[in-house]
Amino acid sequence: MKVKKIIVVGGGLAGSLLAIYLAKQGYDVHIIEKRSNPLLSTDDYIDQVSSRAIGVSMTVRGIKAVLSAGIPFEELKACGVEISGMTFYVKGKPKLRDLSTQDKLKPLSLSRSAFQVLLNKYAERAGVTYHYNQQCVDVDLDKCSLVAKDEQDQFSHHKGNLLIGADGARSCIRDAMMSRSRRFEFNQSFFRHGYKTLVIPDGKTVGLAPRYIVFLWHGLGWRVCESRCDYSRWQYQYRGLPPLLGTNQFA
């Protein structure tokens, strides 16, 4: 059977980038996404105060994958900043390691929400159809169909020629695959610590030097984030969830 209609469950970064590639090959691509449209509002995609989302650090290989999908580099770069180096503490002293360029490119540190908006914009231009506010609740792998539920608990049915699961840690597609196979194997692991997204203001607006460095490390059950430049020095004590040493102090 020739594949014509592809349903991607999960419209995050991976699902949206994949959808662009598939649409450019002529497939009718539909994305089932439980969140709202980020092109209208990013409220469902980021909370700068309490966000626990891990930031996006993109290697040169990842950058090339995005560029190959037809997204201009300048628009991608505008979603974050280049990573010029890494800092390690050796015997209590910071050591700076500059990152070399590959094919005139350096790794990027991206805002997850800004990158999401960029991907969705180009996915829609490529002809991808998004079904927002639709949470996948049931899957029939044999019939390549699924049931989605909206915010009003109204159900809709979607059927295609191919289903692709890009719905993350609590994947409905993975659950369906596990339920039909006696020997479906996968590995799952958890962070030993909590994590937090910190929003650092633009250095130009707060009088920082053009070049400053962020240090992250563990120590004695807590992690310190310290920023140094010619004008300021601050540190943030972070106690993860669960704490590294098993105390009762949390973030």
- Say whether pLDDT at 52 is over 70: no
**Using an 8 Å Cβ cutoff, are 28 and 5 in contact?**
yes
- DSSP lists the bridge partners of residue 5 as 28
| Structural domains of the chain, count | 2
- Say whether pLDDT at 237 is over 60: no
The pTM score is: 0.76
What does R_g of the chain's alpha carbons equal in angstroms? 21
Q: Say if residue 155 is in the same domain as residue 197.
A: no
| Distance from the Cα of residue 173 to its chain's centroid | 19
Q: Say if residue 240 is in the same domain as residue 137.
A: no
Q: Say if residue 146 is in the same domain as residue 207.
A: no
- Provide, rounded to the nearest whole percent, the portion of the chain with pLDDT above 70: 71
Q: Say if residue 135 is in the same domain as residue 183.
A: yes
Q: Does some domain include residue 120?
A: yes
Supply the angle between the helices 112-125 and 13-24 in degrees, to the nearest 10.
20
pLDDT at 57: 86
78: number of Cβ within 10 Å: 14
- Say whether pLDDT at 92 is over 50: yes
114: number of Cβ within 10 Å: 19
How distant, in Å, are the alpha carbons of 8, 37, 53, 55, 120 from that of 44?
19, 9, 12, 16, 14
Domain of 144, CATH number, reads 3.50.50.60
Nearest in space to 102 (alpha carbons), one of 130, 162, 60: 60
pLDDT at 185: 78
Given 188, 207, 229, the domain boundary residue is 188
Q: Say if residue 184 is in the same domain as residue 216.
A: no
Q: How many residues make up the chain in this entry?
A: 251
Given 143, 167, 188, the domain boundary residue is 188
- The whole-chain average pLDDT of the chain stands at 79
Report pLDDT digits (tens) over 132-188: 999 999 999 999 999 999 999 999 999 999 999 999 888 999 999 888 777 777 777
Q: Domain containing 218: what range? A: 191-251
Between 128 and 94, whose confidence is greater?
128
Beta pairing, strands 233-238 & 56-58: unpaired
Q: Say if residue 217 is in the same domain as residue 250.
A: yes
H or E stretch covering 28: strand 28-32
Q: Say if residue 33 is in the same domain as residue 116.
A: yes
